A and B are shown apart, each in its own frame.
Chain A
């Protein structure tokens, strides 16, 4: 009875995570700006993946150290990656100064 209930909850969590994945990845195909896509992707990817892992955790609690490690690294890395991509893709205004390009030699 209890195990059936837990397996139902975990299946529901995984399905919810999959819905998040597809819902957040879909705007990637469109013609929107990079930051819009990055926002929807980082929210849905991180949340969806975490929901899937929690679902797996309920299904097999025996492997909890592994799955908790995955949960933590997912939360940290995906957030940092979002920041890094946004920072690197937007050029800083001084990039267009020509004098920066000259390398002094000889």
Chain B
């Protein structure tokens, strides 16, 4: 009789573990553990059909669906110009990635062919932010810029569409690395 009570007590214990998780991916794994324990408890009390449903639908199907949903929704889509490696410096990408990771988001880069396409993408709400380097567009401009030695006076700009993301990233990215701006259409 005692082991019946102990096994049943494991169910609220794992449920508490589940609701105290903050990282959505950790919560998914704990949800799997909760499902396994729940199936055990249901089988212990003789409800074989409920246990089977919990294991197949509650654990396997729902975890897979939620994993795909969380993975595709919790991402920060950043529009960059097409040759992505040169346009987005690794220092900024790393700083962004670390800042976003603190809020369980991940960085996803979307490449575009031209400045106009980039502007259009943020206007159509395809991306959450666009990255505009202060790199020159024309040759004459380039000569003009090479005269200026300090590149730090013109940091690249990050236009962010959503105020919440803007305020989240405000403290994470240093101003001389990239200048954060709230995008207004």
Contact = CB atoms under 8 A, between A and B. Distances in A.
On whether the two chains bind one another, the answer is yes
B144 interface: no
A65 interface: no
B113 A101 contact: no
A106 interface: yes
A98 interface: yes
Contact of B113 (A99, A103, A106): A106
Interface string A83-106: 000000000000000110111111
A33 B115 CA distance: 47
A105 B84 contact: no
Nearest to B106: A101
B109 A103 contact: yes
B85 A105 contact: no
Contact of B90 (A98, A102, A105): A98
Contacts of B110: 102-103, 105
Interface residues of B, number: 18
Contacts of A103: 108-111
B121 A106 contact: yes
B88 to A, nearest CB: 8
Contacts of B108: 101, 103
Contacts of B126: 105-106
Interface in B35-86: 80, 82, 84-85
A98 B84 contact: yes
Interface string B88-107: 10100100000000000001
A45 to B, nearest CB: 14
Contact of A99 (B85, B112, B117, B121): B85
A105 B111 contact: yes
Contacts of B109: 101-103
A64 to B, nearest CB: 20
Given A106-B117, A106-B121, A98 B112 contact: no
CB-based closest 5 A-B pairs:
A102-B84, A102-B111, A101-B109, A102-B109, A105-B110
Interface of B: 80, 82, 84-85, 88, 90, 93, 107-113, 117, 120-121, 126
Given A99-B85, A104-B82, A105-B110, 4 more contacts: A98-B88, A102-B111, A103-B110, A106-B120
14 contacts: A98-B84, A98-B88, A98-B93, A101-B84, A101-B109, A102-B80, A102-B84, A102-B110, A103-B109, A104-B82, A105-B112, A105-B121, A106-B120, A106-B126
